[in-house]
A and B are shown apart, each in its own frame.
Chain A
Amino acid sequence: MQRLVALPFSKSVEIAWKSIRARFFRSLVTTTSLVLAVAFLCYVQVTTDIANGLLAGGADGSMDALLKAGYNVEPGAVSIGETAKEQWLVFLSLLVCVVGIVNAQLMAVTERFREIGTMKCLGALDRFILRLFMLEAIIQGFVGSLAGALLGVLAGLLSTSLSLGLIIFASLPMTVMGLTSAKAIGIGCLLSLLGVIYPAITAARMEPVEAMRTNE
């Protein structure tokens, strides 16, 4: 006899999606820090991409515009990098974002203790719970990062067109910017997953008896 409980993958996705939709505001809070962090990451990199595009385009006056905007370009340089300060800021913002996600997800797990316990009473294995939380995190991570990346690109375009002038639109490095956004979205999903691991393990290890507790 097959004595194994199962949860098909499509069903897990369905449950995770419903869970997010039902707790829209809680998900929004969890995701907001991610949106902002990814937007900042994307903004910093896209700004650099645009400046690089301008430099590579080599149009008249581009060098002047770059120097005027405060970019430290050596004559004959082929690319501009982010400053160390910017890289630190991005790193710190991502770190803060992960801590925020862990915090928000731990809260979510505590809120859902009874639900998790009930699922376990109905026969859910630890790994079903783990999978549900991971899937929720990936969906939140993807949607949040997508929003963040869009926001970052827009902010980058706006700020460079103000500081460098409309000249940037002549040499806009679309492919590079697309790649940067994709990378930022990937990092966002990864951070979201990273943030949920500990809370999800806490949830999965919960004893089903907890569902019986009434005073919580």
Chain B
Amino acid sequence: MSEHAIVRTTDVTKSFDLGKHTLEVLKGISLTIVKGRYISIMGPSGSGKSTLFNMIGGLDKPTSGKVFIDEVDIAQLDAYELAWLRCRKIGYIFQTFNLIPVMTALENVTLPMTFGGTGNDEAVDRGMELLRLVGLDDRYNHKPSELSGGQQQRVAVARALANTPSIVLADEPTGNLDLNTGEEIITLLKKMSDELEVTIISATHDFKMLNVSDEVIWIRDGLIDKIEQRDELDISVGTIG
């Protein structure tokens, strides 16, 4: 595995102005995420986990410090370049699936390819291939409302991979799913990360996620509490069950 840093943050802080006082959510976070790994960001609600996550995903800009995605400082990008980055470099998976309700599964998967400038036939071919990969090719013509939660999330996984991104960001991907379906999604993500060498970063509460993670970043009160590698991890998971 190459040791290429796909995401790097240096001393990132983020504060929100709440009128009379400012709320410091992130208090200086420096981390490096290596390409092709499966990273989980864990932490209680209010720890700044989501804020850090949005920052890594190029959805939010830090108050101070720098965020590099693929060695590009995202603060330097204009709106067009940011859109391009979101389209080609990053795939998003949401807790609430967020498929476009008026489009079929296949159209949902091809939409980012259309944005990315892929021709229609090529996009449809690749879309079908991705749906096959997540096991939903026979349902390509179904609307999200005709799919179960787990199926919707699998379509979302296929959509996230549409433009062969370097990073897939998953925000509580199992949060709205039952145990079994959640596990299916986790296994699927792990498989994708192994087969396609895509970096998967997920923010989660779900301890099932730890089993497949290469690295777990624990956030507490806006700071990195600890970073655990996979081999250290098995012990701590064992006690939880």
Q: Which chain B residue lies CB-closest to A19?
A: B102
**B83 to chain A: which residues have CB within 8 Å?**
5, 120, 123-125
- B171, A212: Cβ atoms under 8 Å? yes
**A15 to chain B: which residues have CB within 8 Å?**
102-103
- A212, B59: Cβ atoms under 8 Å? yes
Q: Is A141 an interface residue (CB 8 A)?
A: no
**A5/B116 contact (C-beta < 8 A), A208-B59, A209-B60 known:** yes
Q: Is A175 an interface residue (CB 8 A)?
A: no
**B136 to chain A: which residues have CB within 8 Å?**
none
- A212, B80: Cβ atoms under 8 Å? no
The dominant DSSP class at the A interface is helix
- A2, B59: Cβ atoms under 8 Å? no
A30 → chain B closest CB, angstroms = 16
A124 to B113, CA, bound (A): 11
Number of interface residues of B (CB under 8 A): 32
Complex partner residue of B86 from A2, A8, A11, A120, CB under 8 angstroms? A120
Q: Is A7 an interface residue (CB 8 A)?
A: yes
Q: Is B81 an interface residue (CB 8 A)?
A: yes
**A2 to chain B: which residues have CB within 8 Å?**
117
Complex partner residue of B102 from A18, A124, A126, CB under 8 angstroms? A18
- A211, B115: Cβ atoms under 8 Å? no
A-side interface size class: 20 to 34
- B79, A126: Cβ atoms under 8 Å? yes
**A208/B101 contact (C-beta < 8 A), A2-B117, A8-B114 known:** no
Q: Convert A118-131 into 0s and 1s, putting 1 for each residue whose CB lies closer than 8 angstroms to a CB of B.
A: 11111111101000
A207 to B79, CA, bound (A): 11
A82 to B42, CA, bound (A): 72
A12 to B84, CA, bound (A): 18
**B96 to chain A: which residues have CB within 8 Å?**
114, 214
A21 to B143, CA, bound (A): 13
Q: Is A23 an interface residue (CB 8 A)?
A: yes
**A85 to chain B: which residues have CB within 8 Å?**
none
- A122, B92: Cβ atoms under 8 Å? yes
A162 to B80, CA, bound (A): 61
- B84, A3: Cβ atoms under 8 Å? yes
B90 → chain A closest CB, angstroms = 8
A214 to B96, CA, bound (A): 7
Top 7 closest pairs, chain A to chain B, by CB? A123-B87, A22-B102, A118-B98, A123-B115, A122-B112, A3-B84, A121-B92
